[in-house]
A and B are shown apart, each in its own frame.
Chain A
């Protein structure tokens, strides 16, 4: 529970509004998560912030900072004239390397396939010859 967690953090000697058992430092600790909507502030926190000018200022500063960060999203930095040709040249090279790779792996597969077929044919022929030779041998009777 956020309120209990905040109350646990309450440091002694801080002049928070006494009616609300939540300290300013605990609110400051929780603000990032609340502003980011990772947590929802409970009533005690809201009351504290409503009554505490420091926490209100803190919240305003926090929002201001987030707005400034979001503002950066609208800016686009010019990359300079060299970037695009560099990327395209790199892609060209990558494309060529890829084509070469396909070619080589394709040829290699053809070689391996040919050797495999030849080996299989040779083995089959040897077996056939061996069977025939055995069948031609004269049988000893007696």
Chain B
């Protein structure tokens, strides 16, 4: 399945001449859903297993990619993707077809990843001793490897993987996948305000890691 067009968002400093504080509502865009996809969804809902398999085939790479971004681990990502499709299969009758099937899958994947990471962090707390938790020997984390990672993209991927899962989930769903705050909050089981706070924390951490300002710590010379 082709990638959904990524809508442009706040890439400019919008200015009001009033003195008040304004909220800006994001424009609601209706997704264009291909007829083939509508037919497949209808057939799958009617019990056609092959139609559902076709939907899996066309979205599995995207779902796996999102799962990878959220879990930062290929094995976890595979588990999350499998879990997400199973959940989708069981709740297919609740899919109203107002959004793309892939968007619906992203929501389910986000939800599954959150549950998966919560379970894993619980078991890790039980498994890890104090000393083990202090050591981080992943190749992308040591300063030398970081310096070698030439492109911004590479540094961004490493920085994302280093974020705590709760912050990573929000920034990936918002800034990479452009899901609305309300959807993110609902799928992660948090309030919208909490989602926004996490987003700002995540962005700040990412910016500090990926694009540190020259002389960040110094007072500026204006």
Contacts and interface: CB of A to CB of B under 8 A. Distances in A.
Interface residues of A, number: 62
A69 B175 contact: yes
A17 B203 CA distance: 26
B60 A87 contact: yes
B100 interface: no
Given A58-B213, A70-B176, A84-B57, A43 B15 contact: yes
A49 interface: yes
Nearest to B220: A54
Contact of B61 (A33, A49, A79): A79
A63 to B, nearest CB: 6
Contacts of A39: 21-24
Interface stretch (A89-97, A105-113, A118-126): A89-97
A62 B219 CA distance: 19
B52 A61 contact: no
Interface in B33-54: 49, 52-53
B60 A83 contact: yes
Contacts of B85: 87, 90-91
A61 B211 contact: yes
Interface residues of B, number: 62
Nearest to B24: A37
Interface of B is mostly: helix
A49 B153 CA distance: 27
Interface of B: 3, 6, 9-11, 13-24, 26, 49, 52-53, 56-57, 60-62, 64-65, 68-69, 74, 77-78, 81-82, 85-86, 89-90, 152-153, 156-157, 171, 175-178, 196, 199-200, 203-204, 206-207, 210-211, 213, 219-222
26 contacts: A35-B10, A36-B10, A37-B10, A38-B24, A40-B22, A42-B19, A43-B16, A51-B222, A58-B213, A61-B207, A68-B153, A68-B210, A69-B171, A70-B175, A72-B157, A76-B65, A77-B68, A79-B60, A79-B77, A79-B78, A83-B64, A83-B78, A88-B53, A90-B82, A94-B86, A94-B90
